[in-house]
Amino acid sequence: MDTTNNAKQQPCDCQPKPAPEYPNQVTGMRVLARALKEIGIDTMYGLVGIPVTEFAYIAQGEGMKFVSFRHEQQAGMAAATHGYLTHTPGVLLTVSSLGFLNGLTATINATVNCYPMIQISGSSEREPIDLDQGTYEGLDQLNVAKGLVKAAYRVNRPEDIPIAVARAYRAAMDGRPGGVYLDVPTPCLGAVIDADVMEKALFKMVDPIPAMIPSPESVDRALALLASAKKPCILLGKGAAYAQIDDKIKQLVEKTGIPFYPMSMAKGLMPDNHPQSAISCRSEIIEQADVVMLVGARLNWLLSRGHGKWNPNGKFIQLEIDPMEIDCNRPIAAPVVGDLESSIDAILAKLPNYKMQMDPTWLPTLQEITKKKNAGLAAKLAPQTVPMDHWSALSACKKVIEANPDIILVNEGANTLDDTRDAIDMSLPRHRIDCATWAIMGMGMGSAIGAAVSTGSRVVAIEGDSAFGFSGMDFSTICRFKLPVTVVIFNNGGIYNGIGKPLDNTTDPAPTTLDINARYDKLGDAFGAKTYYVTTPAQLEQALTEAVASREPALIDVQLANDAGKESGHIGYLNPAALVDITV
Ligand code: ADP
Ligand code: MG
């Protein structure tokens, strides 16, 4: 991808376009900026170059915030996080070909995770693309995107842009949220139309996110099943957090008195230390619950698809917006298809008609187990081991983050992900963002930026050293935009750990080995951040306390032992190679 405005690299077979006689004439770029504003988009994330550079300036001129990145994938991760946290589509802007492809990975990730976002990409003129003749940054982008994202559109005429943007908005938001691609070829961006044609084409959407009301029968069926359960559980997913109906979820949990189990990003929707929290009782829920109510959560691989150790006689209620999700892994006895707000409203309204028959020993049993598990966790966190391992480092992070519950925690890595999720309690909704359903690495800096920009909150990103490598350069974006983000890098010198052994036939580093002596703090120095290099839990606690209090960009290099960590965290079974000899 080339982001220079070098005329030599432009195709020269197009005629120079007449300059628009602004304000009576406008370009497609102006229409696009106005159309986005009209639907309430006030922020874009992206990386400019031919053919979208001028568009970014025009959008800024129209009062939009443009957050310029170093890599499109991270800009896309930011847009997706923005969408998840604000319940409006995050917008990513990319250039043609490689920029588009780099960004597309994030748009696909958003689709997998049900985050609403729109990737807008400039693309080359159609004629040489359709004849496969080759052109500057030529790629048939629309056809590449189709099938990988929730919806993909191309707009060819400036006067169609308001409709295209509305279609993209509805596709991103309505039903199951996801990533949408909007292709805008260069000729459309540069085409000139009369300003009054633009004004006529612009419109306000009526009912942009319509309610989807569940059928009354489905609500009664679900309540009857829930009421009959002896060992029920409410399983909260990130769809429940995304819906921003926190008080209604709280009422559902507290009025039924049923224990709840949050998926990773639903942590904090109800406080992890709530008396009904069964967060430490995953295996007991799976093995014993007779009725599980899935609320904005999929019975997907993260839950063994409802198979494996799940109670074979257990039944499921599923509150879900997408009817095709129902029965996709295990039969669902009571589907409630609707948007969560409407579904929970309907359930709460009818709840007084049903008497819960929960076994009175079920919750106390889970509370006992929780106490034991908490004691086990405290024992893991207690030894202030030096050189640090994940647990001693997390003992310091836990103190600071739990004392500052407004902080949004971004988290990726292998052991760094698993152990942080277990160690740090969340007490507020939508304050934990991680690799989620696709389990990908390389969302850290982008998600931290999207979280900080879209909420104004302080953010701490706890990153494995390998995970940080995927997005590290966009730490400079945190610095340029002076965001209140602290990046904490757990350096154990490698993927899983730093003690991978090279095979006998090579002097190259082992595939899992990175650099235990790397001084990531010096990367922060390059961009003017506050930086720290820490080797003990006490130093880490002090550095993190100071960094988050400053509300300035900060980077903490946390020196772990190179043998801290093990392969694949809690999901080692996914990697059979860990169990057999590696031979060449
Ligand atoms: P988790 O990984 O936390 O279990 P998932 O992303 O797997 O969460 O599941 C979220 C589910 O929530 C998806 O099936 C999605 O369709 C659903 N969902 C998202 N938004 C809403 C909403 N507003 N109302 C109902 N369901 C929703
Ligand atoms: Mg590591």
Kindly give the confidence (pLDDT) of every residue in the chain, 584 residues in length, as a single tens digit, with 9 standing for 90 and above.
444 444 444 554 556 667 888 889 999 999 999 999 999 999 999 999 999 999 999 999 999 999 999 999 999 999 999 999 999 999 999 999 999 999 999 999 999 999 999 999 999 999 999 999 999 999 999 999 999 999 999 999 999 999 999 999 999 999 999 999 999 999 999 999 999 999 999 999 999 999 999 999 999 999 999 999 999 999 999 999 999 999 999 999 999 999 999 999 999 999 999 999 999 999 999 999 999 999 999 999 999 999 999 999 999 999 999 999 999 999 999 999 999 999 999 999 999 999 999 999 999 999 999 999 999 999 999 999 999 999 999 999 999 999 999 999 999 999 999 999 999 999 999 999 999 999 999 999 999 999 999 999 999 999 999 999 999 999 999 999 999 999 999 999 999 899 888 888 999 999 999 999 999 999 999 999 999 999 999 999 999 999 999 999 999 999 999 999 987 655 656 666 555 555 53
CA gap 270, 281 in Å, rounded: 15
- Span from the CA of 101 to the centroid of ligand 1 (angstroms): 26
Predicted local distance difference test score (pLDDT) of residue 22: 84
- Span from the CA of 461 to the centroid of ligand 2 (angstroms): 15
- Ligand closest to the CA atom of residue 329: 1
Contact of 89 with 150, CB cutoff 8 Å: no
- Span from the CA of 221 to the centroid of ligand 1 (angstroms): 21
Ligand 1 atom 9 nearest Cα: 297
CA gap 392, 129 in Å, rounded: 56
Contact of 454 with 67, CB cutoff 8 Å: no
Pocket test for ligand 1, best of 88, 117, 213, 238 (most atoms within 8 A of CB): 238
Buried/exposed 221-249: b ≥16 CB within 10 Å, e otherwise: bbbebbbbbebbbbbbbbbbbbbbbbebb
Helices within 404-513 (DSSP H only): 415-423, 444-455, 465-471, 475-480
CA gap 1, 8 in Å, rounded: 15
- Ligand closest to the CA atom of residue 243: 1
- Ligand closest to the CA atom of residue 244: 1
- Span from the CA of 415 to the centroid of ligand 2 (angstroms): 8
Predicted local distance difference test score (pLDDT) of residue 14: 54
- Span from the CA of 470 to the centroid of ligand 2 (angstroms): 12
Q: What is the DSSP letter of 316?
A: E
Work out which ligand 1 atom sits closest to the CA atom of 212. 24
- Ligand closest to the CA atom of residue 494: 2
Contact of 240 with 297, CB cutoff 8 Å: yes
- What is the CB-side half-sphere exposure of residue 310 using CA atoms within 13 A? 21
Ligand 1 neighbours (beta carbon < 6 A): 113-114, 176-177, 237-239, 242-243, 263, 265-266, 296-298, 300, 302, 320-322, 325, 339-340, 437
- Span from the CA of 491 to the centroid of ligand 2 (angstroms): 6
Predicted local distance difference test score (pLDDT) of residue 573: 62
Peptide bond into 177 cis (omega under 30): no
Please choose, from the candidates 298, 107, 323, the residue with its C-alpha nearest in 3D space to the C-alpha of residue 215.
Answer: 323
Structural tokens at position 121: 């990409």
Work out which ligand 1 atom sits closest to the CA atom of 296. 12
Predicted local distance difference test score (pLDDT) of residue 20: 87
CA gap 80, 67 in Å, rounded: 14
Give the list of residues 6+ apart from residue 1 with CB closer than 8 angstroms, or none.
49, 95, 97, 98, 99, 102, 137
Work out which ligand 1 atom sits closest to the CA atom of 294. 4
- Span from the CA of 300 to the centroid of ligand 1 (angstroms): 11
Contact of 552 with 529, CB cutoff 8 Å: yes
- Ligand closest to the CA atom of residue 116: 1
- Span from the CA of 238 to the centroid of ligand 2 (angstroms): 26
Beta pairing partners, 194: 25
Q: Residue 192: phi, psi to the nearest 5?
A: -110, 130
Q: Report the sign of the C-alpha dihedral through residues 574, 315, 272, 112, in that order.
A: positive
CA gap 565, 388 in Å, rounded: 11
- Span from the CA of 297 to the centroid of ligand 2 (angstroms): 29
Give the list of residues 6+ apart from residue 479 with CB closer than 8 angstroms, or none.
524, 527, 528, 529, 553
Work out which ligand 1 atom sits closest to the CA atom of 264. 3
Number of other CB atoms surrounding residue 22 within 10 Å: 11
Work out which ligand 1 atom sits closest to the CA atom of 325. 14
- Span from the CA of 168 to the centroid of ligand 2 (angstroms): 39
CA gap 464, 569 in Å, rounded: 12
Contact of 122 with 94, CB cutoff 8 Å: yes
- Ligand closest to the CA atom of residue 516: 2
Predicted local distance difference test score (pLDDT) of residue 123: 98
Please choose, from the candidates 446, 422, 471, 377, the residue with its C-alpha nearest in 3D space to the C-alpha of residue 570.
Answer: 422
Predicted local distance difference test score (pLDDT) of residue 7: 42
- Ion ligand 2 residue ranges (Cβ < 5 Å): 464-466, 492
CA gap 65, 67 in Å, rounded: 6
Work out which ligand 1 atom sits closest to the CA atom of 242. 20
Helix (H) / strand (E) containing 381: helix 362-381
Pocket test for ligand 1, best of 264, 319, 320 (most atoms within 8 A of CB): 320
